[in-house]
Structure 1
Amino acid sequence: MTTSPSLTTPSARLGAGTPRLSLNRWSLRTTPLQEFLEATTARGIDAVGLWRQDIAEVGLDALRRRVDDAGLRVSSLCRGGFLTASVEADRAEALADNRRAIDETAALGAPTLVMVVGGITQEDKDLAAARARVTESIAMLAPYAKSAGVTLALEPMHPMFAADRAVLSTLGQALDVAEASGSDAVGVIVDTYHVWWDPALEQSIARAGAGGRLLSYQVCDWNLPLAADPLFSRGYMGDGFIDFPSITRMVTAAGYTGDIEVEIFNEDVWATPADESAKIIAERFEQLVLPHA
């Protein structure tokens, strides 16, 4: 692992704004990076979830400096994963890219790398084999992540994304992979958009907490009608169908005390001025999530 010596100490600003709230970069995806950081701090939010696209835009060292200068922490980096390739050369390339993502997560002082594990192809429709390759690859990456002080947070995604994004559809499936790694550096994300429908959700959240594998909690709503690209149907909390108080109480009962990221992909939200979106997000968080956290 290689990191810049000047970027090894995590940002330390804690508790000065809305408690527990982290604003994911893609909630304001079309807002320029510096404006996003300024809108975050202006609303009294202490932490941000960043994406590797931000690193590509300004460079790793410059991104860390901007975050530090804003007095912010990085709650997670998105994303690693896409580990389902059946061709050996493609798989090796994916593992190498994930090691780079782990290095970047450590350099930003973030505790967690979000892992979107990947889907299948029309040529290879073997879902069980794809899941097996994910399990094997995560076990291979876990020691590297642990040595870097980074956790790998597996993100189960709604089953409609199984073909192209994530062959792990339930929290239980993600926990199976995390436990099979044999490493405490691997855990799971509870993302309300993807898991709210799961009839085993409460039991799986409790299992994640008991095993020390509940690494991140992300919130946004499930809006209808679904957008042409369902990925963009995530909405402000309270605009859709998700019971945030109930799920938040499950996560709290499981012992989770970390940052809670608001991650919204929605073209109408992106078209809203950044300061207005950040205001709505903070207000909805304080109304629907924070009282139960």
Structure 2
Amino acid sequence: MGVDEEKSEGEGKVWSLCRMPFWQTSSSNGNGSSSSSSSSSSMGNNNGYQQSQTSQLGERSTATSSNAVSSMAKSLLPTRRRLRLDPPNKLYFPYEPGKQVRSAIGIKNTSKSHVAFKFQTTAPKSCYMRPPGGILAPGESLIATVFKFVEPPENNEKPIEQKSRVKFKIMTLKVKGETDYVPELFDEQKDQVAVEQILRVVFLDPERSCPALEKLKRQLAEAEAEAALEARKRPPEETGPRMVGEGLVIDEWKERRERYLARQQVECADSA
């Protein structure tokens, strides 16, 4: 009996040393039920926190993926055009080597706001546009004329089979109605500028009738009529003597004669 009592006392001492501090809380019944309940409550709170964090992460990942899908869908959709072009993506020129020829393109504003447009070309030395840019009100249209010098063929190529690397680009920008057109608009608002269309050059045989050539002739005639109408709207130029410098009067007839003589001298020098 004495040995058993000593063992029980020793075992009690060993267990008392192994007890952790948070287990030594007061309990009503001394069997650790309060400790286990508090531990279960803590684990439940941790599980709830982890579930909420997981839910938030899931919502964020879902939102991110939906935004990515939306951006991808927008990138795949065709860009909304502000102008309607006729022809839509080509510039037709009659093929006349060594000469300056003309093309025409109809431009109409199909948006609900005023739109500024501007031409750009990869060959500014041999091509120019009239007008080079402008502002169109909603529903307004015009016919632009494009001038190009046609280079002679190389390597014995057939004239109509010569391929031109020259391209034209039309840039657009939404502006307010009272804005005056200046090319600097496109530099000041670079973020709002859109590439409306890139136009490819196509040569036509002027001796062979085709729908594209006939349409080009009609557009050029309409462009000339529009230019003549605009010229009539401008105020008439002064035809009398002009005052220049410090009160000097230049006779207009004398000025014309000087220009004529200068041209004659240039022609004589060239013929010599």
TM (norm. structure 1) is 0.20
Greater helix content: 1
Which structure ranks higher in relative contact order (CA pairs < 8 Å, sequence separation ≥ 6)?
1
Based on CA coordinates, which of the two structures has the bigger radius of gyration?
2
